[in-house]
Amino acid sequence: MLVLVAPGQGAQTPGFLAPWLELPGAADQLAEYSAAAGLDLARYGTKADADEIRDTKVAQPLLVAAGLLTATALNAAPAAVAGHSVGEITAAALAGVLDPTDAMTFVAARGRAMADAAAVTETGMSAVLGGDPDAVVAHLAGLGLTPANINGGGQIVAAGTMEQLAALAADKPEGTRVMPLKVAGAFHTAHMAPAVATLEALAPRLSVADPRLPYVSNADGQTVDTGAEVVRRLVAQVSNPVRWDLCMETFKQRGVTAIIEVAPGGTLVGLAKRALPGVRTLALKRPDDLEAARALIADVSEPAEDRAE
């Protein structure tokens, strides 16, 4: 059983889209996404520096466009889809809930609204690596921080004001390392409430369909059956924690045997390697990875008795 997953903000690197745009039709596809987002995504994905693509208004549409572009190149039929944070919009498009144009319109509005919300107060995020998860969450609460991403695999991302994050750096939970993240605000916390209001106003203008395949939600790791509920969750997750740990638990319960992460892949397969031993993983980083991805899909699609022969 194959799950296709899409990464969240921070996965982008300068120039990562350049080799993908050499594929037939890719440049035209990206031009359509750029028009919907109101951004020159080809330039941002090929020529922009790290600071430019760190900008929330740029990073989020760039990531969704990259995910859709590389999923098109792969042309797989997964048994389920999921995305981390903004990657949920990619997953919603892959599941047929949103068409690509609406997905790009939505993510562009999301990026702008979250950037505006982040500008109100100086906030940020730090990854807490290791330690007992319950103890880490309790420690963060004591400092006034939100566990914005509970990612599994020994990783929890704390979010809050810069003063709160400085207190965390000075007073780490037992047995942990703390790594500041290069993001522009405290995403998935109450600091993002203004962005929720913006997206609530946009949502009724989207064309929404029910998912064509299981869509695993960040809210609670459960599959969602209706398009209306997927969109409601996409709006709400801007100010609510990402429970990627629960998504991976659902993968395990559903008997997932392989995970492929669309570009710019790497983060989510890294978490899966730690949390889901025995599940085969592959990250789409360059077009050269497509052949290996197709071979993996063919292998996990074969009946067990055929593979044994």
Active site residue ranges: 85, 188
**Strand bridging mode 123-130 / 146-152:** unpaired
Contact 26, 68 (CB under 8 A): no
CA distances from 176 to 84, 136, 141, 154, 255 (A): 23, 9, 16, 9, 31
Ordered alpha helix ranges (H), the chain: 26-37, 41-46, 50-54, 56-74, 87-94, 100-118, 133-142, 162-170, 193-202, 227-236, 244-253, 267-275, 289-301, 304-308
Terminal CA-CA length for the chain: 20
Residue 118, exposed/middle/buried by CB under 10 A (0-12, 13-18, 19+)?
A: buried
Q: Are 284 and 70 in contact (CB under 8 A)?
A: yes
Please, what sign has the CA dihedral across residues 199, 204, 209, 214?
A: positive
216 Rama sector, left if φ>0, alpha if ψ -120 to 50, beta otherwise = beta
Classify burial at 136, counting beta carbons within 10 Å of its beta carbon; exposed 0-12, middle 13-18, buried 19 or more.
Answer: buried
Helices 87-94, 227-236: axis angle to 10 degrees equals: 170
Residue 268 to residue 277: CA distance in whole angstroms: 14
C-beta separation of 123 from 159 below 8 A: yes
Spatial distance between the Cα atoms of 129 and 176, rounded to a whole number of angstroms: 5
Q: Which residues pair with 224 in a beta bridge?
A: 215
